Amino acid sequence: MFGRKVSMFAGGLFFLVGALLNGFAVNIEMLIIGRLLLGFGVGYCNQIVVGSMIAMKFGVSGEGSFTKNEANLLLFFICMYVAAFAWSWGPLGWLVPSEISPLEVRSAGQATNVAVNMLFTFAIAQIFLTMLCHLKFGLFFFFAGFVLIMTIFIALFMPETNKVAIEEMNNVWKSHWFWRKFVPDTVNDHDLKPVV
């Protein structure tokens, strides 16, 4: 109704205001409102992009266009996807890595998380449309497969970090059935000093 450019600009504006509120937050209310605006901006822009791609593929009118019920169903599924991501994998991909590393290596662990996240986000952004053209609806099964792998990984290998003090994370890893093989029993002062 408003056109793609205005709609994407509005989504970007929500994203910008949300990011600024989060960046300058001085209380929990600012963080929550900022996160809501970020989620709305990202979700809104995602829907505009997907809607634009569908319009380019099928045309706005004529043969190949969706019925009103089909369009509503598609919009419902897109909204469900955005909401589910915003309540689960979206924020947890940033929160959990900041909680799982022991205090001594926390900044390095989070820096590695951000670098890997940005690298794969860039890669997916570059290949998504090409994969969509070649795999068509199969692309969504491709990503669903990775969601299945991630879910299995979380179920088997991720310890609970809720209400665990950062100083206690080493003990959590030591008590896990798989990770205890990789966590030393003691940390020497020598291990924590930088090598000159």
Within-domain flag for 156: yes
pLDDT at 98: 80
pLDDT tens for residues 10-63?
777 887 888 888 888 888 888 888 888 877 777 666 666 666 666 666 665 545
Q: Are residues 7 and 43 in the same domain?
A: yes
Q: Are residues 109 and 176 in the same domain?
A: yes
Which of 87, 108, 127 is a domain's end point?
87
> In which residue are the tokens 């634009």 written?
52
Within-domain flag for 6: yes
CA–CA separation, 145 vs 153, rounded Å? 12
Give the 3-state secondary structure of 32-88. Answer: HHHHHHHHHHHHHHHHHHHHHHHHHHHCCCCCCCCCHHHHHHHHHHHHHHHHHHHHC
Compute the Cα dihedral for 25, 27, 30, 35 and give only its sign.
positive
Which of 87, 117, 145 is a domain's end point?
87
pLDDT at 177: 92
Q: Are residues 148 and 175 in the same domain?
A: yes
Q: Are residues 81 and 156 in the same domain?
A: no
- Quick one: what percent of the chain has pLDDT higher than 70? 79
Whether the full predicted model's pTM is greater than 0.85, yes or no, is no
Does residue 120 carry a pLDDT above 60? yes
Count structural domains, the chain.
2
Q: Give the lowest-confidence range in 26-35, 95-104, 108-117, 187-196.
A: 187-196
Which of 60, 87, 114 is a domain's end point?
87
Within-domain flag for 193: no
Tokens representing 18 are 């949300």
Q: Give the lowest-confidence range in 15-19, 92-96, 131-135, 187-191.
A: 187-191
The 3-state DSSP class for residue 145 equals helix
- Where in the sequence is the domain holding 57, given as residue range(s)? 1-87
